Amino acid sequence: SVQRVQLHQQLLAPPEQAGTPGGQQLLVELHPLDRLIHNNREDSLFTTNQATRALVRGMAHEIKNPLGGIRGAAQLLERQLDSAELREYTAVIIHEADRLRALADRMLGARQPPAFARVNIHQILERVRRILQAEAGDAVQLVRDYDPSLPEVWADPDQLIQVFLNIMGNAVQCLLEMPPSQAADRLPPRVLIRSRVLRRFTIGTRCHALLCQVEIEDNGPGISTELRETVFYPMVTGRSQGTGLGLPIAQAIMQQHGGLIECESQPGQTIFKVLVPFPPTNDGTAPGDSHAQP
């Protein structure tokens, strides 16, 4: 297959060299631009996402403020009602207030900074896999492809569990919600969990010599073209029962960890790549890390 690569060219005219016919040579340097273009796109999306999240967090605070009063008033009213039929209405008010409060809490995302520790990534993945396999039963296969040589990563274990619950949970729910006509073409519905070492990868301005890469791949219908660029924005979802909060929360957590989540999708295949740094050395950087050149 032919792969198209964008290149940056630089023309250099070195000083006159002794013994060189013509007195001067022209040196042409070619550098792949793919990763640079990708980094610029990520920076732009990150800035937009940050502004959107700030707006959503402000909305969440405004929603939460009156909910306590609404719930308290409904409880007081419930105590004054003798009719069981009328108390059903106050129960609905209380239930919906609790539901909205839980939604607002999710919109606010993680409130505590990560409590970093050395973490076995496969223990995290196995815990999440068992939870989701119990929920999905035989309807979805969760397949493992782990690299046993991976060292421990540097992360908050509870927040890392939340990241993979959000991503893998989305994949499982997407497969469970597939119409029968689509599901018949993709039997068996499957989520593949793959762990590998990723070498020489730049996140922001830091070039990581090594990263832990976890791929969550499903054989569902894929993400529509119009949603791919905004899949990490709050309140954006392609699922009928989705809130559009799981992926932006997961991305925000990984950004706090110095990591990243990437998404690739086409009909019949969606892959989320979670990049997690390894523990830092004494100077605060992972082994072999450097800062990328502007």
Domains of the chain by start residue, with CATH: 1-108 (no CATH), 117-276 (3.30.565.10)
Given a cut of 50, whether residue 171 has pLDDT beyond it is yes
| Spacing of C-alpha 41 from chain mean position | 16
- pTM of the model as a whole: 0.70
Given a cut of 60, whether residue 104 has pLDDT beyond it is yes
Residue range 20-35: average pLDDT? 62
CA angle 201, 250, 136 (to 5 degrees): 115
Residue range 54-58: average pLDDT? 69
Residue range 2-6: average pLDDT? 56
Count of CB atoms situated within 10 Å of the CB of 137: 8
Residue range 248-262: average pLDDT? 90
DSSP per residue, 98-153: HHHHHHHHHHH---SPP--EEE-HHHHHHHHHHHHHHHHTTSSEEEEE--TT---E
Q: What rounded mean pLDDT belongs to the chain?
A: 81
Q: Which is it for the CA torsion 239, 245, 248, 249, positive or negative?
A: negative
Cβ atoms of 223 and 263 closer than 8 Å:
yes
Residue range 234-259: average pLDDT? 80
Q: How far apart are CA 53 and CA 248, in angstroms?
A: 8
User: 34 or 147: whose pLDDT is higher?
Assistant: 147
